[in-house]
Chains A and B, each alone.
Chain A
Amino acid sequence: MKVESTFLLGIATFFGIIAICYWFTSYEDGGTTMLVGVTALGFLPGTYYYFWHRRFRGHKYFFWGRTDRVVGTRPEDRDDATIQDGAGVINSFPGSSVWPFVFGGGAFTLLLAFVFGVWLAAVGISLIVTALVGVTAESRRGGNH
């Protein structure tokens, strides 16, 4: 995860510097706001990945504290990992689901309501709610199998 976190923190650093340069050369608030937003976009997940990178190495927090468990590096981050190293459950993937389609239809109808009339919003919102309930129930069932 080190490369990932470096990548994201690199974004944060670059745009942090650019934001400062831009503010002090132009005093333009719109562009500076957006550049600060991009800095945060890199900083938040970047520190998260860095935290977990350190945790895998046995540090409880970023640089301090120790835990008993040292996980080491993920197989996908090791140059010498073999395919066998990655054995085990990797994730749970839904087989097929109708709910994205229902949700998409609901969002489509909901936005059409802004153009053609509020009554469409009722259809849109009920489709979206149905889809949300459906997808939640589906995930719970899937987990129980």
Chain B
Amino acid sequence: MAVAGGLLLAGCNLPTFGETKPITSQGQDSIKLWQGFFIAGAVVFLFVFCLIAWASIRYRRRSHAIPRQTQYHTILEIFYTVIPIVGVLILFGFTFVTENNVDALPAPKVSVTVTAFQWGWRFHYAKQDVTVIGIELQDPEMVLPQGETVRISLRSHDVVHGFYVPAFDFSRYAQPGITNRFTLNLHTLGTYRGQCTQYCGLFHSLMRFRVRVVTPAQFATWLRTHRSGGTTSRASLTASAGGAVR
């Protein structure tokens, strides 16, 4: 467990064990924790696996004699009660620290209000008066600047949805009546896919979106060109969503 803890701190150079490489600093924190948990889990798995395999192969029946009828070994039992408790407390310590980093809410430079609805997304940049809407098969794109602190305020218009971008290594429910806030510090330019993860009805499978990370200069340009309440094409999109977003 101590070994796993040490590796946790040196986690930067480890593989991500199948998980998507994060593009946010919050995601990097989570991934370090994941690497630690994965290694600790693998160690425990292999240890117990070997014990079971050894016991089941070594102690196959070889004679009809009755083995010694041992029932208790108090010291051993205390030992394998205390060791897991210590291990669990260590894991909890790392969890607690990481969780506070991931959930921290520093003052943002850019704020986006994300509203989920059946079955699409609305990204609203209130300060800049820019809105992007998309429904199923017309994935909307959320444009975010690189390197700046971004605050997402997430809510739902109707049922419970899930905001999930694999590249963020993060997800959060979008719920009616509740606004969830979280922070992103994006590192890497590019376009990433996102999807609703909480089952939300018929076209849940198609409720996707994209995130495009651009430089702050490009971001400012993008905001300028998309300002002023929405063009005719966007208005028609709203209409085709059955007036779901008002």
A and B touch in the complex (CB under 8 A): no
